[in-house]
């Protein structure tokens, strides 16, 4: 099948328009930003430059043109990978798998949507257990919408109480404080509100911000705000943030994964895997003219 025939099968919707507009702003911001080459190629720690976000779009639209049977198979395959991760966490912990506790927990919280849609509600408690064991507050909150929709309404309340208890035992340094990150991000956005600093610019922005605050980072790296919306505003300014939010608002058929994605991303940096889960789900949620082969 030629690229032209594939393009003909792609259905462009409002969400596509807003995402492509945001991608265009991201490209312009990166050209005019503080490190154009790194911003476009994604050469920093997370490798999430302009080319990465273009690739996400292509993955989204590719999933969208799959046959219904292929989409179901893809969803079940992802669900199976979530089960494998669950077993690894239970027997080995986070190390040796995705490596970082919050990243692993976020994967399980978002991946739980694929599990429930592929195999029903019964496996859900088994996904909750490793998330609780890893004690990731962001992931516990992220899985709440799914828990709320499937189980007794008292359970989410208990989860929120648990997050509070875990928080009391958490001691973070001044270099790992979300409120500090958020304050510095807002100040940096205010300095360049129109186009921002370009993709993957956070490391340099925060390095400068900590210097101004007389708290040099030395060998410590801060490459994200621990809040997706602040990151987007840092990359693309306020116009880009508006376009990105309108993209999310127009993915109405994908709220099942959108809620855990947004809750998690409000507190934690997103890895490549988290982004791929979202955009794969976006593609699987698109209609495909009823093809059932």
Domain ranges of the chain: 12-173+232-284
Query: At residue 289, does pLDDT exceed 50?
Result: no
Cβ atoms of 33 and 197 within 8 Å: the answer is: yes
What does 238-289 look like in DSSP terms, one character per residue? HHHHHHHHHHHHT-GGGHHHHHHHHHHHTTSPPPHHHHHHHHHHHHHHS--T
Average pLDDT over residues 236-263: 90
Which segment of 141-145, 175-179, 239-243 scores lowest on mean pLDDT?
175-179
Cβ atoms of 288 and 64 within 8 Å: the answer is: yes
Average pLDDT over residues 253-267: 86
Cβ atoms of 291 and 67 within 8 Å: the answer is: yes
H-only helix segments in the chain: 3-9, 14-31, 36-41, 50-64, 68-92, 101-119, 124-134, 137-142, 144-150, 154-169, 178-191, 202-212, 228-249, 255-265, 272-285
pLDDT band of 114, cuts 50, 70, 90: very high
**Residue 293, SS3?**
coil
Per-residue CA distances from 92 to 85, 97, 290 (Å): 10, 8, 43
The helix or strand, by DSSP H or E, that contains position 196, with its residue range, turns out to be none
Question: Angle 198-204-210 (CA atoms, 0-180°, nearest 5)?
Answer: 135
Q: What is the pTM of this model?
A: 0.88
Cβ atoms of 109 and 142 within 8 Å: the answer is: yes
Which segment of 58-67, 122-131, 155-164 scores lowest on mean pLDDT?
155-164
Q: Dihedral, CA atoms, 279, 280, 286, 289, nearest 10 degrees? A: 140
Whole-number Å distance between alpha carbons of 47 and 28: 18
Residue listed under structure tokens 């593609």: 283
Contacts of 81 (CB under 8 A, 6+ apart): 111
Express each pLDDT in 119-136 by its tens digit: 988 888 888 888 888 878
Average pLDDT over residues 182-199: 95
Express each pLDDT in 19-45 by its tens digit: 999 999 999 999 999 999 999 998 777
Please provide residue 46's backbone torsions phi and psi, each rounded to the nearest 5 degrees: -95, -10
Whole-number Å distance between alpha carbons of 12 and 43: 30
């Amino acid at each position: 099948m030629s690229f032209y025939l594939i393009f003909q099968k792609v259905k462009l919707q409002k969400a596509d328009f807003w995402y492509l507009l945001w991608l265009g702003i991201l490209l312009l911001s990166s050209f005019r930003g503080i490190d154009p080459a790194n911003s476009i190629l994604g050469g920093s720690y997370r490798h999430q430059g302009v080319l990465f976000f273009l690739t996400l779009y292509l993955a989204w639209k590719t999933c969208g043109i799959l046959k219904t049977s292929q989409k179901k198979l893809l969803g079940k395959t992802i669900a199976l990978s979530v089960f494998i991760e669950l077993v690894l966490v239970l027997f080995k912990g986070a190390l040796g798998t995705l490596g970082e506790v919050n990243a692993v927990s976020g994967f399980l919280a978002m991946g739980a949507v694929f599990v429930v849609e592929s195999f029903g509600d019964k496996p859900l408690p088994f996904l909750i257990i490793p998330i609780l064991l890893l004690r990731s507050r962001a992931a516990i909150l992220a899985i709440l919408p799914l828990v709320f929709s499937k189980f007794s309404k008292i359970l989410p309340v208990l989860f929120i109480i648990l997050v509070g208890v875990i928080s009391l035992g958490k001691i973070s340094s001044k270099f790992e404080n979300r409120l500090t990150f958020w304050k510095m991000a807002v100040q940096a956005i205010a300095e360049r509100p129109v186009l921002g600093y370009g993709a993957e610019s956070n490391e340099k922005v925060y390095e400068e911000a900590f210097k101004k605050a007389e708290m040099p980072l030395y060998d410590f790296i801060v490459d994200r705000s621990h809040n997706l919306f602040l990151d987007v505003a840092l990359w693309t300014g306020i116009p880009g943030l508006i376009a990105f939010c309108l993209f999310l608002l127009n993915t109405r058929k994908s709220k099942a994964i959108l809620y855990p994605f947004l809750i998690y991303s409000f507190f934690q940096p997103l890895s490549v895997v988290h982004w791929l889960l979202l955009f794969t789900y976006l593609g699987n949620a698109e209609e495909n003219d009823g093809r059932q082969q």
